[in-house]
Amino acid sequence: MIDIQLNGKMVKAEEGEMLLSIIRREGIDIPALCDHEAIEPCGACRLCMVEITRKEWEGWKKHVTSCLYPAEDGLIVNTHTEQVMEIRRTILDLYLARCPNSKVIQKLAEEHGVVKTSFEKIPDADNCIMCYACTRICEVLGRSAISAVYRGHDKVIAPPFGEEPPDCIGCLSCAMICPTDVIPWQDENGVRTIWKKKFDMIACEKCGKEIITRDFADYLISSRNIPEDYFKICDDCKRIDLANKMGSIILQAEEAAL
């Protein structure tokens, strides 16, 4: 355990623990749009920036993204200095120009005193904030079906060649993790559509509810050692079955006891 100073207060932390987790643990609220517990941090949004210094730096300061900076003994951290707030406001101002219609951005910007953008709005703006959560979760899952393509201001999230991504299994992780709900998907008549690709769904043999895409099921069975028949029954029906089984075991036990 090490000691760091956070907004004037001494706090304990694990050596090498990222500052953001310490900051959150202490109940301090700072924005971090590209951060998510299921994926490794990447420092893209820059909103979680904080000021750091050390006694031996004699007043010299540095600004770092707290999601990626590991705590060291003797570190002095400030999360809401004038400079840090100015950086957050300007970044949110830039976000507003990029995603003017995003409710998430509008709300966060307003919380920081930025009601409308002072910059030129981007033509044909959508609500993608380029946090790369979708591509990162897809990679974690082992598919890497989509990626960030092109470079710089033209960068977008897209499947290869803009066509149906061959490696997509329709798991919806990308759509679920997206903080601004930008990835459209649809389940209809036993078919799921996402990234223009259609997937057949497996329906529960008991209740008929659609559980999962065939491709996702096959992938989990082959890569995660899940039994072949696992997806024949949905979780709800499995629970009912289990409850009934538990019930009949208890009944039998009671009868045996009598």
The residues that touch another protein, with contacts defined as CB under 8 A, are 42-46, 49, 63-65, 68-70, 83, 86-87, 90-91, 94-95, 97-98, 118-120, 130, 132, 135, 143-155, 159-161, 165-167
CB of 98 to another protein, least distance (A): 6
CB of 91 to another protein, least distance (A): 5
Task: Specify the residue, 52 or 211, whose C-beta has the smaller distance to another protein.
Answer: 52
Task: Specify the residue, 116 or 239, whose C-beta has the smaller distance to another protein.
Answer: 116
Task: Specify the residue, 102 or 211, whose C-beta has the smaller distance to another protein.
Answer: 102
Distance CA 2, CA 15 (A): 6
CB of 118 to another protein, least distance (A): 6
Task: Specify the residue, 159 or 179, whose C-beta has the smaller distance to another protein.
Answer: 159
Task: Specify the residue, 84 or 233, whose C-beta has the smaller distance to another protein.
Answer: 84
CB of 241 to another protein, least distance (A): 38
Long-range pairs for 92-101: beta carbons < 8 A, 24 or more residues apart: 92/47, 93/117, 93/118, 93/119, 94/119, 95/129, 97/121, 97/122, 98/122, 98/125, 98/129, 99/125, 99/126, 99/127, 99/128, 99/129, 99/180, 100/125, 101/125, 101/127
List, in sequence order, the alpha helices (H) in the chain.
Answer: 19-25, 82-98, 103-111, 133-141, 173-177, 214-224, 235-257
Distance CA 6, CA 77 (A): 5
CB of 95 to another protein, least distance (A): 7
